[in-house]
Structure 1
Amino acid sequence: MFKFLTLCAALLLAPTTHAAACKPAPMGDATLYLRGPINNWAAQDEQAFEYRCNAYYLNLKAQGTQEFKLADEDWTAALTIAGDAQGQPARGGPGNIRRSFSGEHTLRLSFAADGTPRLDVGPRTFKPTPPKPITDKAALTTRFDSRHAEFKAPFGAQPAGSEIRFSIGNDVPGLKQATLVIERRQMTGNQEQLAYEPVARIAMTPQSRGMGTGFTASHRFDATGIYGYWFEIETDQGTYALQNNKDTIYWTREKGSMGPAAVERLPSNLNRVRRYRQTIHAPGFEVPAWAKDIVYYYVFPERFRNGDKANDPRPGGGRPQDRYQDRDVERHATWNEKPFKPGTGDGSDKLFNNDFFGGDLQGLIDKLDYIKSVGANALYLTPVFRAPSNHKYDAADYKQIDPAFGSNDDFVRLCAEAAKRGIRVIPDTSLNHVGSDSPYFNRFLNFPKGGAFDGGKINSASPYASWFKFKPDEADPNKQFQGWVGVTDLPELNKDDPSWRAYAYRDKDSVTNYWLDRGAAGWRMDVVPWVPDDFWREWRAAVKTKNPDALTVAETWFDASKYLLGDMFDSTMNYIFRNAVLDYAAGKSARETYANLELMREAYPQQALYALMNLLSTHDQARALHHFGYQDDGDAKALKLAKQRLRLAVFFQMTYPGSPTIYYGDEVGLGGGDDPFNRAPYPWADEGGKADEALLADFKRLTKLRHDLPVLRHGSLTAPLHADANVVVLVRQDGKTWAITATNNSTTARTVSVVVPMAAGTLRDALGGADVTVKNHRVQLTVPPLFGRVLIKQ
């Protein structure tokens, strides 16, 4: 019976070749992609459907239940197929399609006469049309490398007004002419809209190059922005695009890590060209000098430390912190319980984010000496302002500390006590949305009347009415306003409204200024891509006017170049770094993962690169130990290996430019998968927890290494001296001090021979290992398993 069913599935999924049954592609010329967590929701060539006769086909290798949508590159609404309540494909569905996989499969998407989509999944049977190979030697041998001075100078991001020289060439006859194509990138939102507008087509000047031909051209970039460039080349056999490579960049819609170019036939649709990116930033772009010396300690305050049990949220207490919207909060009986997750049988109610442990600002103050001992000199806090949830991104009052966390005076005291220990405090908030349970919106009437949506009814007389965009013709109250990404608990603000902008940053006592005046050293801003660029430009000006030395950090997950031009932010939460380093430490190819970091070295202004918030774990993603394969109920062997991989990731983090960021509890082996389990309480011993003191000692040793060696914080960074499947070797220089750092993600030691800048001498092992001798610009390094080495020459 099983064989019969398998045969039936294969016949169903096999593409027909009967001419009479073939129909035009329902999506026209658009390419349809499977987009979900499996590819960070990006439109990747590996998950592109091919239309064949009467259906779309895709071969996919996956395991377990996957959620996804089907869409083109631009998420065009008419072309997007989502999921209905049962996870079946539906145009305009409210959720994701859900399917279970167990290895290699073929997906077949077809449409009924009325346009209803059908998605069948079965054994792999589809044979994709292979690309037509290029045999033109003149095209295949034409070279360009954006990181090599022979082909492009100067390197990397440059200030406006810079002239950049571009050269290409080969060593065989046949290259007839070349054109440098310069375009300006337009990108809005979370990469939903991304396009390039023409700037210049420059005929490149031929130059003799042995048997072959070289071409060169220059362009002056006068305005700040992100530009794209590529080369149109012509040979005796045709016209080609010399363009960026096909490397996938984490979370980023555009492919290509830059460096050596790839050649392909010139596509009829130039949107398919993979542009190199050129960042042109403001000439006077400065980042606070202290940013490159930061080691962050990153805290979700409700789960760090309960310092004042009197302010704990309690069901039936009658205080603001005792209510969640229109009902009581949930209170954990003990500190070390798991966070509640509705629908898991843990005894909690059906609401998310309404369970509390009691962490507060007093707990942070009490543990500042501990935070300093870990090696941190900056404290990043997720929101602490009044809000009904445990995460506080649903702001109820931007100018009041949540009563469960303490008071405004407690925040001032926290900043003052932290400063005594050399620690800066950076708070977080969202200026994109507020909470539905707030005086601004007031859906649940927990505040005096005057909200824009009092009791679920539009109040046009409210002083906050213009802060929101309402649809009074809708009968359903949930559809009368826009919830951020559809979440009705988070009414989206009208960021263009002058009244809102005044409250957020223009007024003397605006939200932005209010907390800078009370000791904040800067701001981290939530969901930055959903807020217009001109808002952030004005906001940055307000921050820097109030305190030129304040640090501004964006929450972006993709290539953040457009936010680091000197007119919006100094830094960003570096999720590209996170994914690259975690995947490398988990065993993925060093050469492949490091390409993501090389992209940032080239695309980001250096002053921003050295201030990036280099993450490993976050409150929005599974913790590092989980990424390394350890489950809460896993065995001791799995935990030991996961901690070894974490130690390698921290080693890399502490020896790389940027601001290493320790998510509370990682340093003592706190685990946890996706939200809410990544927000578990810190395992304090006096609350019944158990910290891994050996792991904590490793963290302290590595933060001390970073603080002791300025070259690790300030030193220059070039392309890797060596990168293979397991080992990455980097060189850093700060004045007369050199550092060679090497990491190894193999479970066995690896020995590599590397060419180094110095001709001879001795390299001292900063972690107490054997010295290494340099002979004729070469060293032989043995790198320990799942760890690394730091070698110093002064």
Structure 2
Amino acid sequence: MNKFIALCAALLPLASAHAADCKPAPLGDATLYLRGGLNNWAAQDEQAFEYRCNAYFLNIRAQGTQEFKLADEDWSAALTFGGGTDDQPSRAGSGNIKRAFNGEHTLKLSFAADGSAALDVGPKTFKPTPPQPITDKAALTTHFDSRNAEFKRPFGAQPAGTEITFTVGNDVPGLKRATLVVERRQMTGNQEQLSYEPVARIAMTAESRGMGTGFTARHTFTATGVYGYWFEIETEQGRYALQNNKDTIYWTREKGSMGIASVERLPSNLNRVRRYRQTIHAPGFEVPAWARDVVYYYVFPERFRNGDKANDPRPGGGRPQDRYQDRDVERHATWMEKPFKPNTGDGSDALFNNDFFGGDLQGLVEKLDYIKSLGANALYLTPVFRAPSNHKYDAADYKQIDPAFGTNADFERLCAEAAKRGIRVIPDTSLNHVGADSPYFNRFNNFPKGGAFDGGKINPASPYAKWFKFKPEETDPNKQFQGWVGVTDLPELDKNEPSWRAYAYRDPDSVTNYWLDRGAAGWRMDVAPWVPDDFWREWRTAVKTKRPDALTVAETWFDSSKYFLGDMFDSTMNYIFRNAVLDYAAGKSAKQMAANLELLREAYPPQAFSALMNLLSTHDQPRALHHFGEDKDLALAKRRLLLSVFFQMTYPGAPTIYYGDEVGLGGGEDPFNRAPYPWADEGGKPDDALLAQFKRLTKLRHDLPVLRHGTLQAPLHADDHVLVLARRHGDSWALTATNNSLKARTVSFFLPAELGALQQLKSPLDGATARPRANRLTLTLKPLSGLILTDPKSGS
């Protein structure tokens, strides 16, 4: 014993010395996150640093070189660390930090006495502090489910003026008090700023509930907006937050898919609470009735079809389409070449987006019958207005079709010919930025003098000068103006400038009206989150005044509830759907897919939910076949693609086919996701068997109104591989089931009463039948397959 006491006495000075080395957290209560390409730049709990003694630590698993910043949830300037000159984190660092990873690592962020930061990356050595478990039975057995009428009614997004009833229930004695907390969400930009402002704290009324206690409260949501709500509960042992779950939603900063609640100790910082979201939209919010019947064909025009070789861009030609900024364009020798990617040894120059194949509007007109035969009835075009690049988001003239694509008359002819075939045309543009090579900016002097930045010099006398925010004090021309997300080829517009708004949508011949007058059926708007909300509110009014049935589609990648309040957009490019479905078809859990999609069903007004542009491939992300491993097993990748398309065609919203997917066109990151369509007469090898399957599935969607108009029910079954959904339209029902496993799967589940009472369900695809038994149905699904069953009335 004396030896033990002596040992303790000897160790005490060492422990004291170690404690003396520990310092208070230099960033106070702030939480830092690793935010980069590996997590879509989001602030996720999994990448939150923990402060321990004298440094911040984080364990991650990653491969290859990653780019990231260290920042808090709000990208606060004082708490955002970018890459400095020595590639160490710096508050002044505007670039990204780059590090190479190979498996599991520990990141250590430490601060010197002068406040400078150092980031070390080494083998995994840090052991995070485990969360303190909750043992309070009264808290653990308190329930809430936002999709269950027992706990919340009515369900989902609601018009302003709606009273909503909230109930929390407890199974055992001990719940003393419950408070409904209602807040209004403030979110700007690409989720950079996100906060909640108090609206109401409502003491919930206790009521008997078996062995436990229930608490109920009501709140009337009088104004449109996206609200947050959660519950503060109190037991004999403490106070807790009954809140949203921890599900990660693709591209979305906030966690939680809603549904069943989770309980955690009430945090000292209430910003850590995960709110449920409640969308309250304008009572008169209408979406064009035709939107839910759409199947889009999505085209990158330069790569679809060359119908007029006379307008093809050619180096040294002397025409506008033959020049890219201050040099010649690059021209592909044959249609089936790969797109050029600089610095890859393919023989191209060092510039991106300046190589051309010759696709144009005449090519689209020639292939309208093909597009109709595919089953598409809407044509979405990435920009076709004059611009030097092949993608045309660097607008040079919003009111002129690019000469490499044709003329304004060709656009009108395309719209007219498409209309004869029942196809609507929806163009795309950016009202957030223009091209540096444009009459508005004129950096390269390719236009008459009068641009805001003629020849690389600020021109205060330009009629466009107020469209941009300049910094004359800077000496570097690249720093004298703001390029969108730092890209100097894309000068960012001042969206609050009245003269720009007049040109964009207020004037009778504004950009918005000009093309609606010439046959456009609506607009898809690029980078919508970077444009102020009040701009979109005015813009929507202009669109609907000019053409009440025009469709407005936003490019947003995250939970887009704020855009569906009835005052901005009708629809969005549904990237959450894309990621959820592709990951599921690639083998990830059906439960994970269902969580993401159920969030949308609950958060979006039904009229917008039924009009979503449901994507699989896009010009900004790798194609679906690439996602499925086309380079490893093309046949298997195509089976996974067809599973995705089956789900897409049987789910609410507007299925969207990116040109070439239907014939097996693959490709990874830009520019390879923008490869030319493989026309047989151009030397390509389209997969006609795959095309036939696409046509079969689009026909199924058009043949069954329940697939286009039917209300989606909560999932009937979801496990690691199988998801079963039910749709209802009047008296008609459709049941769909998908299996992402490489093995057959048998599942059994309860049916809604109306379906369970039927004698027989039948597949409209192959005639297979199924018979419910005692309100249950058992199905065996083939590997990587989808099954649809309908009642006898569903084809009406």
TM-score (norm 2): 0.96
Q: Is 1:680 matched with 2:684?
A: no
What do residues 329-367 of structure 1 show as CA deviations (whole Å, max 9, x unaligned)? 111111111111111111111111111111000010111
What do residues 749-784 of structure 1 show as CA deviations (whole Å, max 9, x unaligned)? 111112112223100111115210112111111111
Give yes or no for contact 2:50–2:56 (8 Å, CA) kept in 1: yes
Alignment of 1:423-434 (within 5 A): 423-434=423-434
Give yes or no for contact 1:452–1:458 (8 Å, CA) kept in 2: yes
Opposite residue 143 of structure 2, the aligned amino acid is: R
Opposite residue 457 of structure 1, the aligned amino acid is: K
The residue that corresponds to 1:527 in the other structure is 527
Rounded to whole Å, the distance in 1 between the matches of 2:33 and 2:262 is: 23
Rounded to whole Å, the distance in 1 between the matches of 2:680 and 2:92 is: 51
**Mean CA deviation greater in 18-27 or 739-748:** 18-27
Give yes or no for contact 1:17–1:53 (8 Å, CA) kept in 2: no
Counterpart secondary structure, 1:774: coil
The residue that corresponds to 1:651 in the other structure is 646
Rounded to whole Å, the distance in 2 between the matches of 1:316 and 1:25 is: 62
The residue that corresponds to 2:461 in the other structure is 461
The residue that corresponds to 2:399 in the other structure is 399
Deviation of 1:87 after TM superposition, in Å, equals: 5.4
Q: Is 1:705 matched with 2:700?
A: yes
Rounded to whole Å, the distance in 2 between the matches of 1:110 and 1:491 is: 37
Percent of pairs with identical residues: 82
Deviation of 1:94 after TM superposition, in Å, equals: 3.8
The residue that corresponds to 1:619 in the other structure is 619
Rounded to whole Å, the distance in 1 between the matches of 2:698 and 2:90 is: 51
The residue that corresponds to 2:780 in the other structure is 782
**Mean CA deviation greater in 371-380 or 24-33:** 24-33
Question: Aligned residue pairs: how many?
Answer: 775
Counterpart secondary structure, 2:410: helix
The residue that corresponds to 2:765 in the other structure is 767
The residue that corresponds to 1:670 in the other structure is 665
What do residues 200-235 of structure 1 show as CA deviations (whole Å, max 9, x unaligned)? 111111111122111100000000000000011111
What do residues 550-583 of structure 1 show as CA deviations (whole Å, max 9, x unaligned)? 0000000000000011100000000000000000
Counterpart secondary structure, 1:460: coil
Rounded to whole Å, the distance in 1 between the matches of 2:661 and 2:65 is: 28
Counterpart secondary structure, 2:771: strand
Alignment of 1:93-172 (within 5 A): 93-172=93-172
2:710 counterpart (696, 701, 715): 715
Q: Is 1:436 matched with 2:399?
A: no
Give yes or no for contact 1:87–1:95 (8 Å, CA) kept in 2: no
Counterpart secondary structure, 2:669: coil
Deviation of 1:101 after TM superposition, in Å, equals: 2.3
Rounded to whole Å, the distance in 2 between the matches of 1:180 and 1:275 is: 11
Deviation of 1:604 after TM superposition, in Å, equals: 0.1
Counterpart secondary structure, 1:341: coil
Deviation of 1:403 after TM superposition, in Å, equals: 0.3
Opposite residue 47 of structure 1, the aligned amino acid is: Q
The residue that corresponds to 1:300 in the other structure is 300
Q: Is 1:791 matched with 2:768?
A: no
The residue that corresponds to 1:451 in the other structure is 451
Deviation of 1:123 after TM superposition, in Å, equals: 2.0
Give yes or no for contact 1:178–1:234 (8 Å, CA) kept in 2: yes
Alignment of 1:276-291 (within 5 A): 276-291=276-291
Rounded to whole Å, the distance in 2 between the matches of 1:782 and 1:570 is: 38
Opposite residue 607 of structure 1, the aligned amino acid is: Q
Give yes or no for contact 1:588–1:725 (8 Å, CA) kept in 2: yes
Deviation of 1:723 after TM superposition, in Å, equals: 0.3
**Mean CA deviation greater in 504-513 or 24-33:** 24-33
Give yes or no for contact 2:233–2:239 (8 Å, CA) kept in 1: yes
Rounded to whole Å, the distance in 1 between the matches of 2:501 and 2:531 is: 12
Alignment of 1:255-654 (within 5 A): 255-631=255-631, 634=632, 638-654=633-649
Rounded to whole Å, the distance in 2 between the matches of 1:335 and 1:742 is: 40
Deviation of 1:28 after TM superposition, in Å, equals: 1.9
Deviation of 1:714 after TM superposition, in Å, equals: 0.7
Rounded to whole Å, the distance in 2 between the matches of 1:762 and 1:430 is: 51
Deviation of 1:88 after TM superposition, in Å, equals: 4.9
Q: Is 1:199 matched with 2:194?
A: no
Give yes or no for contact 2:88–2:117 (8 Å, CA) kept in 1: no
Opposite residue 764 of structure 1, the aligned amino acid is: K
What do residues 80-131 of structure 1 show as CA deviations (whole Å, max 9, x unaligned)? 2222477554433343222222222212122333333322222221110011
Q: Is 1:752 matched with 2:747?
A: yes
Opposite residue 471 of structure 1, the aligned amino acid is: K
Counterpart secondary structure, 1:651: helix
Give yes or no for contact 1:16–1:53 (8 Å, CA) kept in 2: no
Deviation of 1:55 after TM superposition, in Å, equals: 1.3
What do residues 410-431 of structure 1 show as CA deviations (whole Å, max 9, x unaligned)? 0000000001111000000000
Counterpart secondary structure, 1:102: strand
Give yes or no for contact 2:150–2:167 (8 Å, CA) kept in 1: yes
Q: Is 1:208 matched with 2:203?
A: no
Opposite residue 249 of structure 1, the aligned amino acid is: I
Rounded to whole Å, the distance in 2 between the matches of 1:395 and 1:87 is: 35
Q: Is 1:733 matched with 2:731?
A: no
Rounded to whole Å, the distance in 2 between the matches of 1:313 and 1:23 is: 64
Q: Is 1:23 matched with 2:15?
A: no
Query: Which ranges in structure 1 are unaligned for 5 or more consecutive residues?
Result: 1-14
Opposite residue 221 of structure 2, the aligned amino acid is: F
Opposite residue 668 of structure 2, the aligned amino acid is: G
Counterpart secondary structure, 1:155: coil
Counterpart secondary structure, 2:99: strand
Give yes or no for contact 1:394–1:489 (8 Å, CA) kept in 2: yes
Deviation of 1:16 after TM superposition, in Å, equals: 13
Give yes or no for contact 2:571–2:612 (8 Å, CA) kept in 1: yes
Opposite residue 453 of structure 2, the aligned amino acid is: F
What do residues 435-485 of structure 1 show as CA deviations (whole Å, max 9, x unaligned)? 011011111111001111111111111111111111111111111111111
Deviation of 1:37 after TM superposition, in Å, equals: 2.1
Rounded to whole Å, the distance in 2 between the matches of 1:678 and 1:212 is: 57
Give yes or no for contact 1:305–1:358 (8 Å, CA) kept in 2: yes
Give yes or no for contact 1:523–1:552 (8 Å, CA) kept in 2: yes
What do residues 688-713 of structure 1 show as CA deviations (whole Å, max 9, x unaligned)? 11111111111111111111111111
Give yes or no for contact 1:323–1:329 (8 Å, CA) kept in 2: yes
Deviation of 1:257 after TM superposition, in Å, equals: 0.3
The residue that corresponds to 2:251 in the other structure is 251
Opposite residue 707 of structure 2, the aligned amino acid is: L
TM-score (norm 1): 0.96
Rounded to whole Å, the distance in 2 between the matches of 1:244 and 1:779 is: 32
The residue that corresponds to 2:10 in the other structure is none
Rounded to whole Å, the distance in 1 between the matches of 2:139 and 2:94 is: 47
Rounded to whole Å, the distance in 1 between the matches of 2:498 and 2:402 is: 27
Rounded to whole Å, the distance in 1 between the matches of 2:665 and 2:70 is: 36
Opposite residue 483 of structure 2, the aligned amino acid is: G
Give yes or no for contact 2:429–2:524 (8 Å, CA) kept in 1: yes
Give yes or no for contact 1:83–1:93 (8 Å, CA) kept in 2: yes
Rounded to whole Å, the distance in 1 between the matches of 2:474 and 2:612 is: 44
**Closer, same or farther: CA 16–480 of 1 in aligned 2, 3 Å:** farther
Give yes or no for contact 1:33–1:44 (8 Å, CA) kept in 2: yes
Counterpart secondary structure, 2:418: helix
